[in-house]
Structure 1
């Protein structure tokens, strides 16, 4: 089991959250819908079979941070066309989460979203969860000038645009590799993992990194983790 980090939360005045598979349970597999539409987009654009499209999709995702970045770099795809197509999904599996809303509300300071998705997609997710009013802003892939996490320049753009001091910030993510730069910058980092009781659709590498040195804390229950911060006197 990973040892507790020396980094705490008492100094934190800015709370930064990833969106997909972080603010809602992994087992909803909402991202699986996006995944399928990405495959279809790649297949249609490159005129290849779904199987070959899936292979290319996952290769680009791992190498470039997003399939979109790979398609832009390798094949000149328009970001606007790509984002509009792949995020046209059914968000109805998401239900309001008042307990998470209450846990987020008690955190002192600012709350921001940092996602490789789009503002439009983030807005729909946050509305369905009933927690949109807790967040000051969404920093999306367009604000990142189409450079996805884990690119270092993306975090720098985010910090500059929103005036965030990383030494007084915490970052919550479902991909360990996306916490490496935040940790290096001084953020307290939290990896949100599947709860182990539900089947999830993820690549093996996406589930790695729980014991990485740049991961300060690991939780399978984000709401419980946030609600417990005050109880553990970390915010006193």
Structure 2
């Protein structure tokens, strides 16, 4: 898959109308081949193991069950166990960014987009800022909307997106959403946003949950690309 600039002429949303560009963070603004998400995953498992006094295997099963059912493992832990959200976020996002390389081409492509750029993540703002600074994109985004700003309502729930749109004064029909999970694009598409699924090149299926691949061929995915920088360069040029 390469950059895909299908337009409204074939039933796909174009970008000429877009004023606000919204990007997910993890596995979207940096490739999934970096081990950041693996680190976060491992730290969540360790946290749940200690919190509930269960085996790591049981913790991992619970973690993934909550992730699928509630949108984030954190949401499930809040509802089912009443955990300290700040302590959880501090623990799971205490990751090593040494292996994350700056991305000057992607940074330039993001900067060249006309209009406002926002990051919308189910993670924490501190984690997002650390990652953006390491990528060389710290000054490229007007705001970061994190899980705390969302009052812990995670993507893909409609409530989460409506809170995001209200918080930043975003008009959905004049915005585009970039995500690595297809299911997180269903609501944005329904609200009128152009949607782009970012699929890592050479992605290993065994590295992710099988359900995370669901919806990739759905009508709510307007565009698919494995080269985000190249895709954005073509958008800006068009």
TM-score bracket relative to the smaller structure: over 0.9
Matched, 1:93 2:75: no
Normalization by structure 1: what TM-score? 0.94
Q: Could you tell me which of 18, 22, 46 is aligned with 1:16?
A: 22
Return 5+ residue gaps in structure 2 as ranges. Answer: none
Give the C-alpha shift of residue 198 in structure 1.
Answer: 6.5
Q: Could you tell me which of 115, 132, 156 is aligned with 1:150?
A: 156
Q: Could you tell me which of 208, 219, 226 is aligned with 1:202?
A: 208
- Specify the SS of the correspondent of 1:134: coil
Which residue of structure 1 aligns with residue 179 of structure 2?
173
> Would the aligned equivalents of 1:26 and 1:200 in 2 still touch at CA under 8 Å?
no
* Residues in 2 aligned to 1:200 and 1:168: alpha-carbon distance in whole angstroms: 36
Return 5+ residue gaps in structure 1 as ranges. Answer: none
Give the C-alpha shift of residue 202 in structure 1.
Answer: 1.2
Which residue of structure 2 aligns with residue 81 of structure 1?
87
Normalization by structure 2: what TM-score? 0.94
- Specify the SS of the correspondent of 1:108: coil
* Residues in 1 aligned to 2:209 and 2:203: alpha-carbon distance in whole angstroms: 17
> Would the aligned equivalents of 2:196 and 2:225 in 1 still touch at CA under 8 Å?
yes
> Would the aligned equivalents of 1:193 and 1:207 in 2 still touch at CA under 8 Å?
no
Give the C-alpha shift of residue 8 in structure 1.
Answer: 0.1
Q: Residues 116 and 137 of structure 1: is their aligned pair in 2 closer, same or farther, counting only changes over 3 Å?
A: same
Which residue of structure 2 aligns with residue 137 of structure 1?
143
- Residue deviations 1:81-109, cap 9 Å, x none? 11011101101111111100110111000
Give the C-alpha shift of residue 24 in structure 1.
Answer: 0.2
- Residue deviations 1:168-189, cap 9 Å, x none? 0000000111101100000000
